[in-house]
A and B are shown apart, each in its own frame.
Chain A
Amino acid sequence: MSVNILVVDDEAVIRELVAARLGRLGYAVVTAVSGEAALATLAIRRTDILITDLMMPGMGGFGLLKRVRVESPLTRSIVLTGYVTLDNVLAALKEGAFSVVAKPIDNPAPLEQAVELAYQVLQGWLDQLAALGRQRPDLSSARRPSVGP
């Protein structure tokens, strides 16, 4: 199964650079120019990992994180920002971000590691869910309690 990634940034160079680098590693990457466009993509395409800027016109990264948490709870979100302040990092984590990576991305290693880690965590959850599904008793074949005389 391919890993679907959505990259959201209003800056074209960042958007395309991230998409190209991750695409080269074998991830299935699509991009969006805004939070609103990202939500539209999330509605029609399974997204395993979201990578978003914080400062964008319109909705912005924090607003997007909030919506993703509700509308696509299994999606792991990574924040990619030039404003790596304690306030921003804590706020992003509070809104459900899995990790925060600093711009610029002249060194791709931190982002690639964050993506790999996010995927491992997601895969761990899915494995656990699958295991739980296998353990669940088949209620349809359970004997119904006898009723009546």
Chain B
Amino acid sequence: MEVLQPKLNSGKTADYVLEKDWSSHPLGPYEFWPTTLKCALNIIKHSKFPKLIFWGVDLFVFYNDAFRQSIGTEKHPATIGMRFDDAYPESKRRMRPVIEKVLQTGESSYFVDELVPIQRNGCISEAYWTFSHSPLMDEFGTPLGIFLDCFETTDSFTKTSLSRPAARDFKSLSDSLSQPVFATDATGVITYANSSLLAYTGKSFEELQSAGWEDIVPAEDLENVIDDWKDAVALKSSYSTEVRYKKHNGEIRSFLVSCIPVLDVNGSVIRWVGSSFDIQSLKDQEKEKDIFIGMASHELKTPVTSIKAYVQLLLRKYATNEDKLLANSLTKLDAQVNSLTILIKDMLDLSKMKTGNLELNKGQFCVDNIIRDVIDELALVHINHNFNYQNPDKSVIYCDKDRISQVLINLLTNAIKYAPDSYEISITCESTNDTLRVSITDKGIGLSKSDLEHVFERFYRSEGKNQATFPGFGIGLYIAADIVQRHNGSIGAESTLGVGSTFYFDLPISNPV
């Protein structure tokens, strides 16, 4: 590009201004134009440096011959006298805020090697400019328009930066990655896309740059993406988020996108660099796993249904049989089938919780009845344990009765499991104005402080010398915590090693006194 040595005769553009019929233009015929504008046009006319004028609130565009070289035939002479926004829609996003600021503050702008895309030669090209806007004022200091000195540096800039070995390495490195990589300027305009991103979107770099993220992100996700972006811009901090990208074949895949800001010496963001990791197959696998668990639990339940029915049938017949071994074995068998059923249910619940599909069937229930039912049920199986129910509470809770029963069962069986040498378990209710607390206390092995912190996490099992003797998935408390949270309640535990533990949950009371 030979910007430095204009070949055109100076003044040709100015002649065009004079010859044009302005009668239907908002500015009116040339002879009625303000003197300031005419003077300004005269000043830029003969300059060998590219200059533009944006006049008035509409920012009507004028330029000199030196600038003509940078724009090609698409914009000349059509853009003379056009509104800036109509003449340069591709540059609007980058330039408009700068112009506004100059008009408002009266202070000139100055940018070096700044990317401002421009439409020319049939496409939007990535062009770099060194430019300065200065206000064009009347004698009272009122800004009437903008003077723009702008010098294209695309060639020298790309030669000095992208051709540098480091920059070349960066490009080769990012092109070698199968993950889409991009860079944007401080405002989010895409300034670089690696070959993977171009191949994925099936678009050229110019297309991505002009259409922006609207072309990559599905319309329904844009708002969220912009919100995340705004937060990161405000904090100038790197961020990571899940974003869906549109593929060239119409497919939409999820990516984990990580972005980091590149700061200048003053701490201002000059560009963002981001990479995207395709997590669609992970998500698909997760989904398949959940479907599998759903099917597996359904299939497992079918034989369990038969076993349970036959065992109960035999129990009916032989529970009072003289053969104690037979009667006892059947009772044990029945209890084991029940444990198996609970394990299968837990497994399914877990996969549902992860996918957010756990449904609640809420109604108004007296918590006292729920507790009594659960104790009766457990007392049948754990005949040696003493369930000491203190301070019964008649509060009514808006809840899923079965799920709250499940919380109680999980907490109680946990207490039974981890207190193998003690048969005393107490259940206590306490209510304040709007909250009911149910506590379950055992005299078991207790939990260390570090165990307490993790006890409601998935698959967490207290590590101790007796760990092997405590069977289970380690998901009972996780499920209990999840259910309580879904009821807008909270769950917690207190414990002393070797003394025992208290697990409690708080639930909001329906009609507080």
Say whether A associates with B. no
